Structure 1
């Protein structure tokens, strides 16, 4: 019997060879990704449709920007706080069943939002939406990783996280159109119905048995203890056992501070600064959120390609993405309404979430497969509490004091904290792998350790 730290070194991110295959369908992994991705779209459609109706709620109920930001942030806060405990339950009792249950809950809560008669009732409904969505990102990504080879992880993670931006695009654009034509309550109804339909389809298509039959084990499986007595202790030990994995959590979460701000406040920014109507502001904001989602996928693909031989480049690409987004977002909000501002904002939006994909890949490389949903939940905790929850509410609080445009000139500087965390993760990458017995290949490629 060996503990995690006593395990013999194995190469990180490699598929375990000589695994006896079961009866598999080559189409099933794509089906898993497609349906899980579709539910992710529903997740963020239900979450971000609120941003499209901010101007209408502000006018109807006389809400402050802090109150509006809170309605957005409580979802992300609930996701962050509950992601770990609910993911533990998902790991233990079945990830496919957990996904169906979560989708049903957030969809019903979204429908309930349509019948809110005051701010308090809507706030409660939004909290329940967050409870339903809490573990979806972590469990859904763990399910996707289960049926794909490890070398695709940055791409899959970036694509999966990009789905959040695409869902936001649909939620903001479609929600804005529906709200202007039929009222803001109908926007919530449409999003809730879509989620319920997808939950039913998932329940009849993806099962625990099918997932087990198509699972592709990876090298980190060798970190699993050989006895049940050590299993729980060793699994949870890997969640925080190395500096690199902790910095992956922090770097990703702090970088998503600005992502959360853009998701929540871009429609209001175009409404107030450019004088657009709510539906037009939603459509224009959706274009930038779409670019943000494409950036998540594109940056993930780049990271996978440049780090296929030299794993540490996942960190260096993340650092570059953070620096580029900081420069362009600071520059964009330094200008008034003009074409140059929109161009700079577009570049900043493309790169702002770039570290999210590589962070997911590094967390997977530094934790055991059986606890991976919980590891992703820990990453989700950082992403939501430090980023997606804190960004909108802090920006709203500042906007109440100095205006939204001026607030957006200040908040991108949080990126400096993200860059610092990512640099520390880069410097401790090899020592962290060695600590877990996942020693990197000592051969060199143009002076770099693989």
Structure 2
């Protein structure tokens, strides 16, 4: 996800001073483990869609809502809960989040009706809402500044691994022990980590709140940085375009196990594993596309936007070809190639947001990007395709779905028209601040 530009400011406070490296890695491992649990609990549902659909006679629209409600709550609550976590304490907040989503996943395991399941999934979304933004804040706080980009990209990969494990293990558990045990297994894993987390990770050891508050008091340029989150046309367009592109990738992730079950006749376990392999392909593609973004955009920042447009259009073409093909190995390979490209926009999007917003509010800026990704992509996509599937069938819905990438490309093109001008304006503003307060470090994002 644009690893070199995600959240690694070139200046600022080094909050890792005095923290042993061994302890820092323990914090990373536990926080990373909980992120895996987060996505395992979220994505296990996709692996058991066929079983729940048959047992409760559900429509695809109802199944889409069970998935979309989590993304919807994440989108709604990411910002407010991230702010509360900063005030209440990050370690306490992360622990409470993990306990809530794990107990809610356990509630899915014992649900007796669709309504019970929907309420439990609602609580899963509430618990998971701010974990990504708060978790990465904890991780970067315990490592030196020059490791933040590496740690951020590694941490975010945990979501993909969690999705992979949730769908693969969930499918196997469901096939051999029943779908309730798929949810139960994810819940137990999360509760164990949630109990260990506050025992091994201490707020006083990772807490840098006072250091940050002191720095802000000394830095008049940080008085009004929030305006940069929405202050330019290109940054707003980037939020929208990123979310629209995730409409495509998120929909495939949610509905592909059901697609394999219906059109390939795969059992739940095999469909879950195959879908997980497709997700892994998209994870590798996201990383490599982000690396290409960093390499080609080093001296030409506008190439980031050009690459985002290219990823949208190429991914659209590949998936349209794939879903027009008959079922078989060739189609699966083509879908994997398409997914390899589709989520490549994560890197350019993250880089653009970083370049257009103040470093002191990068966590809030990325929470805003998360909100757009969840509302426009991860929540809306499965719901819309579920509705289409009820009307015209899942295969036909999948043939139409990639066209959303064309809309995303058009919005990225709008962002490209204003991007260089907006970056230049932002740097002039920061330069003016530095002229007024020459003793303060620069706060710009890397280009």
Which residue is equivalent to 1:316? 306
Classify 1:302/1:262 alpha carbon distance in 2 versus 1 (closer, same or farther; 3 Å): same
Which of residues 254, 263, 266 is equivalent to 2:253? 263
Q: C-alpha offsets along residues 172-217 of structure 1, whole Å, 9 cap, x if unaligned? A: 1111111111111111111011111222333233344443569999
Which residue is equivalent to 1:296? 286
What CA distance in whole angstroms lies between the structure 2 residues aligned with 1:225 and 1:318? 38
Classify 1:157/1:19 alpha carbon distance in 2 versus 1 (closer, same or farther; 3 Å): closer
RMSD: 3.1
Q: Does residue 104 of structure 1 match 2:99?
A: yes
Which of residues 102, 117, 120 is equivalent to 1:122? 117
Q: TM-score, normalised by structure 1?
A: 0.85
Which of residues 163, 176, 187 is equivalent to 2:158? 163
Which residue is equivalent to 1:61? 56
Which of residues 220, 232, 238 is equivalent to 2:228? 238
SS of corresponding position for 1:116: coil
**Contact 2:250–2:378 (Cα < 8 Å) also in 1:** yes
Which residue is equivalent to 1:174? 169
**Contact 1:312–1:426 (Cα < 8 Å) also in 2:** yes
What CA distance in whole angstroms lies between the structure 2 residues aligned with 1:438 and 1:46? 45
SS of corresponding position for 1:23: coil
Q: C-alpha offsets along residues 276-300 of structure 1, whole Å, 9 cap, x if unaligned? A: 1122111111111111222222222
**Contact 1:180–1:278 (Cα < 8 Å) also in 2:** yes
SS of corresponding position for 2:30: helix
Shift of 1:342: 1.4
Shift of 1:243: 2.0
Which of residues 398, 407, 422 is equivalent to 2:397? 407
Which of residues 24, 33, 39 is equivalent to 2:34? 39
Q: Does residue 93 of structure 1 match 2:93?
A: no
What are the ranges of 5 or more consecutive residues in structure 2 without an aligned counterpart?
A: 1-6, 432-445
Which residue is equivalent to 2:361? 371
**Contact 2:282–2:341 (Cα < 8 Å) also in 1:** yes
What CA distance in whole angstroms lies between the structure 2 residues aligned with 1:61 and 1:168? 25
If each structure's helix is expressed as a fraction of its own residues, which one has the higher value? 2
**Number of aligned residue pairs:** 425
Q: TM-score, normalised by structure 2?
A: 0.86
**Contact 2:77–2:126 (Cα < 8 Å) also in 1:** yes
**Contact 2:175–2:267 (Cα < 8 Å) also in 1:** no
Which residue is equivalent to 1:391? 381
**Contact 1:15–1:216 (Cα < 8 Å) also in 2:** no
SS of corresponding position for 1:276: coil
Classify 1:414/1:150 alpha carbon distance in 2 versus 1 (closer, same or farther; 3 Å): farther
Classify 1:110/1:20 alpha carbon distance in 2 versus 1 (closer, same or farther; 3 Å): closer
Classify 1:435/1:205 alpha carbon distance in 2 versus 1 (closer, same or farther; 3 Å): farther
Which residue is equivalent to 2:267? 277
What CA distance in whole angstroms lies between the structure 2 residues aligned with 1:361 and 1:149? 18
Classify 1:19/1:184 alpha carbon distance in 2 versus 1 (closer, same or farther; 3 Å): closer
Q: Which stretch of the first structure deviates more once superposed, 192-201 or 176-185?
A: 192-201
Q: Does residue 141 of structure 1 match 2:136?
A: yes
SS of corresponding position for 2:324: coil
Shift of 1:390: 0.7
Shift of 1:225: 7.4
Shift of 1:94: 2.9
SS of corresponding position for 2:135: helix
Q: Does residue 435 of structure 1 match 2:425?
A: yes
Classify 1:314/1:215 alpha carbon distance in 2 versus 1 (closer, same or farther; 3 Å): farther
What CA distance in whole angstroms lies between the structure 1 residues aligned with 2:295 and 2:20? 27
Shift of 1:148: 5.8
Q: Which stretch of the first structure deviates more once superposed, 115-124 or 208-217?
A: 208-217
Q: Does residue 334 of structure 1 match 2:324?
A: yes
Q: C-alpha offsets along residues 374-427 of structure 1, whole Å, 9 cap, x if unaligned? A: 222211110111000111111110000111001000011101121122223333
Shift of 1:151: 8.8
What CA distance in whole angstroms lies between the structure 2 residues aligned with 1:215 and 1:342? 52
Which of residues 187, 195, 210 is equivalent to 1:192? 187
What CA distance in whole angstroms lies between the structure 2 residues aligned with 1:106 and 1:86? 14
What are the ranges of 5 or more consecutive residues in structure 1 without an aligned counterpart?
A: 1-11, 442-448
